[in-house]
């Protein structure tokens, strides 16, 4: 005789309890637990089907294991989204409706126990890959409820498409692609997949399913704003090329916690009149220069040239969140209306910007030049510096020509003219080598407030860049002859100040 039929809530609670205990539960296990037989099993089959249609169980068939409310099935198709603060890869379910199910859960990708080659071993997944995962429930792991073992890498997911969102009366929408090659090939965005997009917004969508007849289905992944905004062009470029533009919370927190570097482990060069010379609209200043006649009687007509760069390694430690994100980005990307920085602004525009009158850590190379422009010797130094002046190209050139403003005139005789003299001897050595010297015109576009082009003008080529880059090129060329790169700190790779500014890891020079 079959037992009385249990309530829906009792069955759902039983499913939850079994799943929490790590046990799979299906129709047979439920019937046995509640003593159902005969007509009771028929009733249970119908009830489970109703619960499945209502989305209460997460099951995909009455003959398959039933999953509790909010739980994931044991095998799931996911997309690799990135790495967490510990460097572990994670993924999210490929099919997930955030409007109905909330934020997609992150699944920790299990590392293979062995790295030996196996005929049937699944290859390591990469960012953007779609993978079939065998899930395991986790307890006590911050940020993760599941881990996943890769069963098969299905391949790269379909690229996200940019377009204009058009809202429909029933709550769904249509995507009008902005790519000219895709004009006329609209996509349908079902109700519940539109996110917070409004009619006329520029959105990024992921194509979900395509059919032989009718438009493909898509899901809004990100709302980028109005197409009428002057920011739209750069936003399109950022998303079309997959440029990382949002820092992880751990990276921001790490940058905000950094404190200014002091003199510990550094030479105090704050009395040396290093200056920065950059474009008038530069937002950061990462290099400074100084030159003076060499007082050594054995080097008549020689010069002492100092080139300093901001010491990023003072704040970006190997393996830190800042280091990992900088390595992923590789470089800063400049647009007419914005900069996508490699490091948070707390680092790039503040602590590692050689601001006038402020103490900053730097790595300096001191070059001793002979009268013919060849290098006599060089040395590297970790220093604490204080920029004596911040000049634009125009200010520096006007001061050298005797037509500068008050600020340029104040440093003309003591700083600019010795630097110009050192450039003169370095330029003679460069001309003797007969390098390729391209003197090409530069054109600058002036944009209106709405982002459209207002006018263009030809920019004058200032001598200051030629001076500094000639010195820097000579430094690098001469240093290579001595067995080390002028761009890398010679002691170790982990202490290189530009380590986080390179897409690759710096290597220790063998002669260091």
Per DSSP, the three-state class of 465 is helix
> CA angle, 379 as apex, 378 and 385 as ends, to 5°?
120
Tokens of residue 459, six digits: 């920019």
Q: Contacts for 462-466 with beta carbons within 8 Å, 24 or more apart?
A: 462/393, 462/394, 462/396, 462/397, 463/397, 463/400, 463/423, 464/277, 464/393, 464/396, 464/397, 465/393, 466/423, 466/427
> Residues of 262-280 as b/e, b for ≥16 C-beta within 10 angstroms?
eeeebeebeebbbbbbbee
Residues 6+ apart with CB under 8 A from 45: 27, 62
| Inter-helix orientation angle 39-53/27-34, to 10° | 130
> How do residues 173-197 score in pLDDT, each as one tens digit?
988 887 766 666 788 888 888 888 8
Report percent pLDDT > 90 for the chain. 21
**How high is the pLDDT of residue 487?**
37
Answer whether 334's CB lies under 8 Å from 254's CB. Answer: no
**How high is the pLDDT of residue 62?**
41
End-to-end CA gap in the chain: 86
The whole-angstrom separation of Cα 359 and Cα 308 is: 13
> How do residues 417-459 score in pLDDT, each as one tens digit?
999 899 888 888 888 888 887 777 778 778 777 667 788 887 6
> How do residues 313-342 score in pLDDT, each as one tens digit?
999 988 888 988 888 888 888 887 788 999
**How high is the pLDDT of residue 496?**
43
The whole-angstrom separation of Cα 93 and Cα 55 is: 16
**How high is the pLDDT of residue 170?**
87
Q: Does the pLDDT at position 275 exceed 90?
A: yes
Residues 6+ apart with CB under 8 A from 101: none
A 10 A CB-CB count for 499 gives 23
The whole-angstrom separation of Cα 182 and Cα 163 is: 10
Selected residue with higher pLDDT from 488 and 289: 289
Residue range 460-468: mean pLDDT, rounded: 51
> How do residues 290-299 score in pLDDT, each as one tens digit?
999 999 999 9
> Beta partners for 310?
362
Helix (H) or strand (E) holding 1: none
> How do residues 23-79 score in pLDDT, each as one tens digit?
767 777 888 888 887 777 778 777 877 776 655 555 444 444 455 555 788 888 888
Secondary structure of 163-187 in HEC code, one letter for each residue: EEEEECCCCCEEEEECCHHHCCCCE
Residues 6+ apart with CB under 8 A from 407: 389, 391, 395
Q: Does the pLDDT at position 156 exceed 90?
A: no
Residue range 243-255: mean pLDDT, rounded: 86
Q: Does the pLDDT at position 239 exceed 60?
A: yes
> How do residues 131-150 score in pLDDT, each as one tens digit?
899 888 888 788 888 999 88
Query: Which of 222-226, 229-233, 328-332, 411-415 has the lowest average pLDDT?
Result: 229-233
Helix (H) or strand (E) holding 189: strand 187-189
What torsion do the CA atoms of 461, 472, 339, 232 make, to the nearest 10 degrees? Answer: 50
Answer whether 416's CB lies under 8 Å from 408's CB. Answer: yes
**How high is the pLDDT of residue 469?**
42
- H helix runs in 68-221, sequence order: 98-101
**How high is the pLDDT of residue 488?**
38
The whole-angstrom separation of Cα 397 and Cα 461 is: 10
**How high is the pLDDT of residue 288?**
92
The whole-angstrom separation of Cα 124 and Cα 340 is: 30
Q: Does the pLDDT at position 383 exceed 80?
A: yes
Structural domains for the chain = 1-71 (1.10.10.10), 75-156 (2.40.50.140), 161-240 (2.40.50.700), 264-501 (no CATH)
Residue range 261-274: mean pLDDT, rounded: 93
**How high is the pLDDT of residue 454?**
82
Residues 6+ apart with CB under 8 A from 28: none
- Work out the mean pLDDT of the chain and round it to a whole number: 77
pTM of the model: 0.59
Report percent pLDDT > 70 for the chain. 76
Q: Does the pLDDT at position 22 exceed 90?
A: no
């Amino acid at each position: 005789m079959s037992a009385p039929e249990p309530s829906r809530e009792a069955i759902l609670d039983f499913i939850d309890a079994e799943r929490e205990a790590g046990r799979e539960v299906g129709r047979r296990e439920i019937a046995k637990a509640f003593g159902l037989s005969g007509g009771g099993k028929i009733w249970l089959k119908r009830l489970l089907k109703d619960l499945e249609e209502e989305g209460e169980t997460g099951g995909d068939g009455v003959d398959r294991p039933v999953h509790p409310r909010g739980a994931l099935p044991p095998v799931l198709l996911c997309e690799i989204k990135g790495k967490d603060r510990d460097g572990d890869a994670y993924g999210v379910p490929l099919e997930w409706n955030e409007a109905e199910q909330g934020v997609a859960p992150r699944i920790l990708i299990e590392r293979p126990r062995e790295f030996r080659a196996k005929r049937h071993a699944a290859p390591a997944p990469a960012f953007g890959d779609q993978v079939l995962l065998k899930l395991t429930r986790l307890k006590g792991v911050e940020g993760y409820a599941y881990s996943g073992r890769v069963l098969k890498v299905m391949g790269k997911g379909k690229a996200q498409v940019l377009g204009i969102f058009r809202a429909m009366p029933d709550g769904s929408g249509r995507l009008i692609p902005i790519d000219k090659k895709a004009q006329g090939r609209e996509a349908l965005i079902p109700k519940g997949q539109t996110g917070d997009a409004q009619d006329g917004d520029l959105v990024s969508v992921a194509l979900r399913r395509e059919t032989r007849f009718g438009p493909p289905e898509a899901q809004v992944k990100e709302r980028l704003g109005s197409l009428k905004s002057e920011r739209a062009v750069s936003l399109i470029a950022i998303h079309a090329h997959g440029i990382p533009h949002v820092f992880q919370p751990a990276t921001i927190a790490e940058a905000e916690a950094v404190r200014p570097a002091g003199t510990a482990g550094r030479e105090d060069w704050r009395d040396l009149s290093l200056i920065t010379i950059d474009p008038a609209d530069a937002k950061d200043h990462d290099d400074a220069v100084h030159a003076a006649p060499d007082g050594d009687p054995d080097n008549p007509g020689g010069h002492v040239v100092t080139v300093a760069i901001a010491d990023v390694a003072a704040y970006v430690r190997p393996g830190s969140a800042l280091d990992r994100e900088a390595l992923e980005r590789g470089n800063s990307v400049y647009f007419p209306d914005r900069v996508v920085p490699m490091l948070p602004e707390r680092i790039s525009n503040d602590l590692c910007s050689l601001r006038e009158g402020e103490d900053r850590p730097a790595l300096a190379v001191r070059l001793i030049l002979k009268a013919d422009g060849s290098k006599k010797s060089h040395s590297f130094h970790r220093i604490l510096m204080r920029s004596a002046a911040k000049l634009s190209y125009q200010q520096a050139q006007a001061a050298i020509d005797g037509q500068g403003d008050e600020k340029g005139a104040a440093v003309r005789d003591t700083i600019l003219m010795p630097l110009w003299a050192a450039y003169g001897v370095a330029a003679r050595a460069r001309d003797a080598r007969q390098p390729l010297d391209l003197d090409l015109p530069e054109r600058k576009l002036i944009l209106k407030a709405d982002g459209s082009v207002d006018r263009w003008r030809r920019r004058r080529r200032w001598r200051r860049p030629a001076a500094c880059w000639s010195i820097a090129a000579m430094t690098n060329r001469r240093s290579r002859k001595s067995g080390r790169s002028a761009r890398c700190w010679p002691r170790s790779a982990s202490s290189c100040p530009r380590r986080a500014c390179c897409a690759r890891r710096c290597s220790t020079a063998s002669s260091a």
